[in-house]
Structures are given as C-alpha cells and as structure tokens.
Structure 1
Amino acid sequence: MMLKTTVFFEGVSVGMVGKILIVDDVATNRIVLKVKLANARYQPVMAASGQEALDAIARDTPDLILLDLDLGDMNGIDICKKLKQNPKYSRIPVVIVTANTDRQARLDALHAGADDVLPKPVDDQILLARMRSLLRAYEQDEELRLRDATLMELGFAEGPANFAQPARIGLIAPNPEIGVNWRAALRRQMPHDRIDLLGQHDALNVATQANESGCGYDAFVIAPDLSMPGEGLRLMSELRSRSRSRHAAICIAVPPGRRDTIAVALDLGADDLLPDTFSAPELAQEAGLRLKRNLARKRRLDQQRATLAEGLRLATIDPLTGLFNRRYALPHLNRIASESRQANRDFAILILDMDRFKSINDTFGHAAGDSVLVEVAKRLSQELRASDIIARFGGEEFLVALPNTSLEQAGQIAGRLCRVIEQQPIALPDNHNSLRATVSIGMALGGTSDPDRSVDTLIEMADRALMYSKAHGRNQVRILRAPNAA
C-alpha cells in the first residue's frame, strides 16, 4: 500500500531551530559568530550591550546565551547573576566567551552561574560541541520541568525535597599517583563527600550492582586515556548505557590543547570538563565548583523524575498502552501553547486515528484489537523526541504534541509516523495471525501564526483535518490552517 502524505504549506516559511543569543559590544565579533552559528543551522540573535541582551531575553527567550565578559554598559558576570537569580531564566545555559585570561575572572564567572568560559578567539570545534552538550541538557531540564508543572496543575503536590546526603564520587585516573592527587585536591573542596579511587572494571561493577539503597555513584571523574588511548571515553559510554549509572554526573579530566578529545567527550555525553591536574589552588577550586554544580543538577533531576513517576502512576497513564491519557495531555498542551507564545515559537498538534479499527475487533476479537493498540503506541513513541508528548486520546485515537516545531518539520514527522505503522505487520496474540494497520493523521499548527488561537480550536482543526484524511483515502496526513491565518 502506497503512503500518501498531503501537506499544504500555504506560504509558511521554515525557520532554523536552536535560538542562540550572541552578546558582544564589538560588531565584528558578533557577525563572525553569527555566520558560524547560522552555518551550523542555529538561529542567531545579536545584542550589542548588556541592556540589549536583557531586553532580548525578556522579549524572545533564547535556548543558549554566548556572553562577552566585558561589555560597554555592564559586566557579563553581573548579567549572568541576574539571569540565574530569575527563576524564569535561571536554567538557560550561559557560555562566557572572553579574551580575559585571568584565572580569578574565570572562577568568578563560574561562581556567577556560567556553564562554561571559553577563550577568544573561540575554537569552533569546541564551541559547537559545548553548545550541543548544553542544549541537550537544557532540553532535558525543560522536558522534566514542563511535565512537573503539568502535574502540579493536575493537583499533585511536588514531592518532599530529599535531604542532600553526601555524594559518592568515583575517580578513574590513568595511574594511581594521579588518582591520589585528584582525591587530595577534591577532598579540600568537598570535605563532606565520599571520594573513591576506582579502576575501570570497578566502575562498571558498581554501576551494574548498584541498587535502590543508594550504593551506586552520584558522579564520576574519568581521564580520557587509561591503559589505552580513548579508553576513558569508552568507559563513559558504557556507564551511560547502564540503567544504574545512566543519570550519574560524568566529568572528563582533559589535558589542555586536546581539542578533538574535548569535542568527542562532550558529544559522547560528558556533563562537564575538568582540568586534568588539580595541583594549583585555582584549578582545584574550578574542579570542585564544576563537580558541585553537576551534582546539584543531578539531585534536582532525580527528584523531578521521582515526582513525575509517582504522579503518572497515580492518575495520568493509560493502563493499556502506557501512554499519557487525556487528563494529562490537555493541561500539558495548554502549557506548551503558553510557553510557545512567550518564546515566539511554533508548535504542532497531530490527531491520529487507526484506520478500520472496528473491523479488527469484529474479525479477530477485542484482545487482538488491544494488542494492536499497544504495538501502535510503542511504534509511535519510538519515533518521537523526548520533548514531544503522545497520549491515548480515546478509543483508537492518539494525540501527539510537537513543541518548538515548524510546519515543515511537523509534516515530516507525521509522514514518518504513518510509515512506521504501515511498514511492518503486527502480530496478534494467537501467534498465528498478523495484520497490517494504518493510521490517518490530521494536523494543526499553533504559535507565531496566530498566538491567540486556543488549544481547543487547534484540536478542532486537527480533528477536521483528520476527517479529510479519512474521507480522501486514509493512511495519509492532512494539514489545515485556520480561515483567518495570514
């Protein structure tokens, strides 16, 4: 069966994703960075002063800020402090890009909340790798924060804050002497935490054997090269793949000048980078500061995950498919719409309906129909991003919300969802029969094109588009716009 994906663009322009605010009082610096980021498919926004930057952040919240330390009207550290003290902006990643090589200035910037400090002239490979790492973490933060806020709206109180127990930190150094030096330096910065020297096999063993009583490690500091070059990075990948160590904070201690190693470490999942030697007091302070910050983030995310898991278990999960239910989806969708208006972003709503589902129940029985719904839900979920939401909206109907998504991107995703359902037959519980299922999809776009359009109206539009999809042959995507859209 051929997939027919019908998409009506009606002159809608497609923009880049990843809005990056560049703050520098030198026009040449701003322009050079703008070109580099645009070539990497980011959406650069520029500000020439501290006040311009604050106005731009309030007007159109960026995903990441590249901030010069010395501006004409105010200091970059003061701007960073203002942002980190404001709950609305405190989680936006901030990278200080400066020609100031003073070690104390670097520490002051990190104390103020900067996520990193990079020297000018900026190394393109390291800058882009650091941005990718921070944007991934920011998306994860926003996903959990958004879901947490939705649970609060549903009436589930935030879970009690856990008392911060001393952290357990594992050091995997290239040799025992370096490991002992690392531990001595970190113990001066973090006297209440437990710091252990581990071999790489020890690290994997404790990651595998860790249990709910908390015998696992909260953070690891790993040298990129152990007995062989790159072995520390492979160890990090192993730790990220194991459920008990997946959410640990992992910092790679990289020697200066190893630009390729830095970029690879960040892209493989390192949370942060540390200097490879802690002999100087300033380097030890920086290492301790970075570790403490990553541990605090790890604890916060752990708490949010626990709260989310309990709330979802109680009231917001469809028991058959394991997806969110309508009760969760609607307030979450309203929150996506509200935040899209504030950030001047588009988002999309998809309504998906199984084609000829009644005939499946009539021919094979309701148990077979249920197994088909479970498999369809699984396939749809695997094709979506972490920030997207999918819910069983009722019967054989599903709702998908795609935040920060252009019309073209939403059309591509919707077409892919059709294909992933159609391509492989679905086995039935009798182990003898299988069938090919298809879905029809209706879509509506919200956000910048009509910020006053309500979520209810968008759902009605998507539902109407779904009816067109059904009426014109099924197994296709239809996208409609509001009559008053520009």
Structure 2
Amino acid sequence: MAGRILIADPTATSRIILKVGLNAARYRTLQAADGANALRIAREDRPELIILNAHLPDMTGAELCARLKADPRTRALPVLILAAQGNRADRLAALRAGANDYLAKPVDETALHALVRNLMRARAAFDELARRQDIVETMGFAESGPAFSRSPTVALIAPTPDTGLAWRRALGLALGARITPISREQALETGDGRDVPDAFVIAADIASHGDGLRLVSELRSRQPTRHAAIVIQDEANDVGTVPMALDLGANAVVPGTFDAEEMAARLERMLACKLEADALRERFVQRVDLAALDPLTGLFNRRYAEAYLARVAEEAVRTGQPFALMLLDLDRFKEINDTYGHRIGDEVLVETAQRLTANLRDFDLVARHGGEEFLVAMPATDLAAAAAAAERLRRVIGDHPVRVTGVDVPVTVSIGVTLCTGCDGKREMPQLIEEADHALYASKHDGRNLVTFARNAAA
C-alpha cells in the first residue's frame, strides 16, 4: 500500500537508513531532525504514519507523541517510537502518551516493515470510516442520536487456566474493563455476535507452538470478531512471531513475560480506537437508508458512489496516492434471465455482490452501478495491486458457478480498469469513469471474461 511516512530523528544517518528501507517498500518519506519540525510537517502534510526517535533535541518522542495526540489535526496519525536503548520506563511513557508501538534498536527489518504495514492498514481502515461519515453528511442525511456508551470487554486466552487467572488478577488492577479468561474454543463460539469481546490477549503458544497465531487468523476471518483488538503475548520471544502475527491481523506483539502495566497501556489506546471506530460504523449504518443502498444487493448505489468517488479524487490530489477505478459487467446476463428466469437472475446478482465484497479490502468501495454492472473504487492502489485485484475478482466470479435452488448457473464477468497516479485534478471523475467504461467495452469486444486496462491507466 502506497503512503507517506514521516521520519523524525536527530541523526542524518539513521534517517537515511530508514528512508532507504521504506523507499524500497515503495513508501514515500518525509524527514525532520527535531520535534518542532516534525510537529509542523505532521500538521501540514498529514502523513499516514510517523516514526519518531525516542530522544529528539528539543523533546522526547513521548512528549512529541502526546502533543500529536492532543491536536485534532494529527490525533489519528499512528506513531511508532524507536529507541537506541529501550527500557521499561521509556516504553511505558511512550505507550501512555498514545504511541502505537515502541521498538528498541537494533530493529529487525522484517518486523519493522510488518509493523509499518499493520499500522498503515489500520490507518486506512479508520480513514475509510471517516470518509464515509463525511460523505453521508454531504448527501444531507439527518444526524443520528448519540452513540450508547458502554464498558469494553477483554478476553484472555492463556496457555493454562491458572495463567489466565493470574493475567486477569494483574491486569484487573491496571485496566478499567471487564476481563475474562476464556479458552480457544470459547473464542471461536461467536454465535450471533452478541457479547463478543472488544479485545483479545492471546498467548502465541496456547496448547502447541504457534496455535495462538492460527487463532488470530480465525478471529479476523469471522464477522463478529473482525474488528476486535488483538494482542499476542509471546513469552518465548521468538523473532519470527512478530511479522507473522502482524501480517495475520494482530494489532501488536508483546515479547517476554506478561507485564500488566504495559499490557494495560496498550489496551487502553486500542480499546479507545476500537470503540470510536464502532461508533462511527453505528452512526453510518443509522444514517444510510435506502436512498444510498441498492435494495437488491445491499451494495451502495450509484448516487452514493458518485459522492464517494469525488471525495477519493480530492484526497488523491492532496496526498499524491494513486487509486484504481473498475467497472465490471456480468457477461450475457440477458441469457441468464431468459434461460433461468428473473428470480434466479436476481440471486446471481446478489451472489456476485457478495463475492466482490468478500474479495476486496474493508476500505474499498463496491457499488451497483446499474443493471448487471458494478463499480469498484480502490483508494491507495497502484498498478500492480489493481491488476492483481481485478484478476482476483474475475476469477472468483468466473471460476465457480452460482448455485441457486439446486441449479448451477455459469457466470463470467468482464472488467475495465483505469488508474489515477500522481493525480493533479486534471482528470475529472466523469472522465475516469468513461476511461473504465471504454476498457470494459474492450474486454467485451475481445471475447468477454477478461480484464482490460485503459490505455492511459498509468498516466
């Protein structure tokens, strides 16, 4: 995922080393040598992530983090603090100031990049919630009532019941939340989504090596627990646990012996972010009615999509990040209606919508553009990612027939894609949609069940 990262470090060599590694991963970097300049750049340029040295010439990393979190303009920016010689007191101070994580040098590059990816994904997901909230406001939806305030819940999944109880006793003194030790099996019994924990603290090794990480993957794949905060406690301090756990969906990995104060500091920030995101989702659902949703598929309709795309284009101009726009059309859909009937045709549309949604990121947009045509918008997406996503969507539709009331209905989809990179506002949204539409027509003309990019997609 493309994005901008601000590096604040007093040593030019350290900044250069970080810059080279991040640029190799296709991130763009901004630099500051002290806290005052870092604060100014963060306010003016609003990068997607800030990496701070624990000790800057004019303030500590924790002090700068606290100032960033106190400013509405920079409050949502994720912060990672790097320390030359980490110690528990500095780590706790950083976490309590609002830092998302704290790493002591020498930093394992694989772990660092996994943490960067993790924080960038979380930031993008939160930005998408805020973007949707702004869009419904511009569309004139009435303000919903105040969100219901509730106490968060934390589930502890330890290697043994006694260990879970010990964790609860220690953590209960430091964290204002309902804390319950549960088993791995209980964590997967999510039912209808009621009483699902807001956060999980999971041992990396529960009953066997690495089974805690497999549980993370299971929890992230299930709707009721998809948005829960997840912390892995890695008492074995295995260097490979950090990148694997983060890429599977954990929010953080805490190495070594269970430290209740550190865990509480991490969970307080994660729970606050989780509850804020939950409130945004709830308000969004309350405020979006049939005027913005397609009644058949439940996807956003064309009216909402147009407002959304205008906002994405504005942000692309501001940040310089590319975005992809796709138009997808089911092939020979009239024949499906004529052969099987319109009821089955409707079910094919519903299944298509579900497959598209399941195979895109949470912050991508899927809308019904009209009839059997769908629109997909992917913020912060470059050419390679757009090509991979388009091909994935083509295959998830075409490789498996839609099974409706005992009948297998073969379905394929043609896709047209355009891309806006280095967006400068010169290409208006109607032009981008027209480019995608021409590419879609080329896919149809060349035999259907194809992905075609607009000729100026990389412009």
Cα pair 1:186 1:284 within 8 Å, conserved: yes
Q: Does 1:395 align with 2:371?
A: yes
2:210 counterpart residue number: 230
Paired residue for 2:150, among 158, 165, 186? Answer: 165
Q: Does 1:342 align with 2:318?
A: yes
* CA distance in 2 between partners of 1:231 and 1:332 (Å): 40
Q: Does 1:208 align with 2:162?
A: no
2:295 counterpart residue number: 319
* CA distance in 1 between partners of 2:392 and 2:151 (Å): 46
Cα pair 1:125 1:259 within 8 Å, conserved: no
Q: Is the deviation greater in 98-107 or in 353-362?
A: 353-362
1:203-256 Cα distance to aligned partner (Å, 9 max, x none): 5336526666x5443333233233433344344444444544443332222337
* CA distance in 1 between partners of 2:144 and 2:255 (Å): 37
Q: CA deviation at 1:400?
A: 1.6
* CA distance in 1 between partners of 2:251 and 2:68 (Å): 21
* CA distance in 2 between partners of 1:222 and 1:473 (Å): 50
Paired residue for 2:131, among 136, 146, 149? Answer: 146
From the superposition, tell whether residues 380 and 246 of structure 1 become closer, same or farther in structure 2 (CA, over 3 Å). Answer: closer
2:233 counterpart residue number: 253
Cα pair 1:204 1:239 within 8 Å, conserved: no
Paired residue for 1:479, among 437, 454, 457? Answer: 454
Cα pair 1:182 1:277 within 8 Å, conserved: no
Paired residue for 1:185, among 170, 184, 196? Answer: 170
Q: CA deviation at 1:402?
A: 1.8
2:242 counterpart residue number: 262
Cα pair 1:207 1:217 within 8 Å, conserved: no
Paired residue for 2:433, among 459, 466, 469? Answer: 459
SS at match of 1:144: helix
Q: CA deviation at 1:325?
A: 0.7
* CA distance in 2 between partners of 1:179 and 1:77 (Å): 31
Which letter maps to 1:260? G
- The count of corresponding residues between Structure 1 and Structure 2 is 458
1:97 counterpart residue number: 82
1:13-61 Cα distance to aligned partner (Å, 9 max, x none): xxx7243332212121122222333444544444333344345445544
SS at match of 1:453: coil
Cα pair 1:469 1:478 within 8 Å, conserved: no
Q: CA deviation at 1:115?
A: 0.6
Q: CA deviation at 1:326?
A: 0.9
Q: CA deviation at 1:158?
A: 5.3
TM-score of the two chains, using structure 1 as the length reference: 0.81
SS at match of 1:321: coil
From the superposition, tell whether residues 296 and 314 of structure 1 become closer, same or farther in structure 2 (CA, over 3 Å). Answer: farther
Cα pair 1:60 1:344 within 8 Å, conserved: no
Q: Is the deviation greater in 214-223 or in 464-473?
A: 464-473
Equivalent residues in 2 for 1:411-426 (5 A)? 411-426=387-402
Q: CA deviation at 1:422?
A: 4.4
* CA distance in 1 between partners of 2:231 and 2:394 (Å): 41
Cα pair 1:368 1:428 within 8 Å, conserved: yes
Q: CA deviation at 1:394?
A: 1.4
Which letter maps to 1:205? Q
Q: Does 1:155 align with 2:136?
A: no
1:82 counterpart residue number: 67
Cα pair 1:170 1:196 within 8 Å, conserved: yes
Which letter maps to 1:81? A
Cα pair 2:328 2:373 within 8 Å, conserved: yes
Equivalent residues in 2 for 1:440-451 (5 A)? 440-441=415-416, 443-446=417-420, 448-451=422-425
1:313-342 Cα distance to aligned partner (Å, 9 max, x none): 543221222321112111111111111112
* CA distance in 2 between partners of 1:209 and 1:445 (Å): 39
Equivalent residues in 2 for 1:14-25 (5 A)? 17-25=2-10
* CA distance in 2 between partners of 1:376 and 1:216 (Å): 29
Structure number with greater CO (CA < 8 Å, separation at least 6) is 1
CA RMSD, 1 decimal: 3.4
1:37 counterpart residue number: 22
1:283-304 Cα distance to aligned partner (Å, 9 max, x none): 5432211121122222222222
Which letter maps to 1:264? M
Cα pair 1:99 1:120 within 8 Å, conserved: yes
Paired residue for 2:111, among 116, 120, 126? Answer: 126
From the superposition, tell whether residues 369 and 219 of structure 1 become closer, same or farther in structure 2 (CA, over 3 Å). Answer: closer
* CA distance in 1 between partners of 2:381 and 2:354 (Å): 22
Q: CA deviation at 1:273?
A: 3.4
Q: Does 1:439 align with 2:414?
A: yes
SS at match of 1:315: coil
Cα pair 1:418 1:438 within 8 Å, conserved: yes
Q: CA deviation at 1:435?
A: 4.4
Q: Is the deviation greater in 394-403 or in 406-415?
A: 406-415
- Which protein has the larger Cα radius of gyration, Structure 1 or Structure 2? 1
From the superposition, tell whether residues 86 and 446 of structure 1 become closer, same or farther in structure 2 (CA, over 3 Å). Answer: farther
TM-score of the two chains, using structure 2 as the length reference: 0.85
From the superposition, tell whether residues 161 and 208 of structure 1 become closer, same or farther in structure 2 (CA, over 3 Å). Answer: farther
* CA distance in 1 between partners of 2:415 and 2:25 (Å): 35
SS at match of 2:240: helix
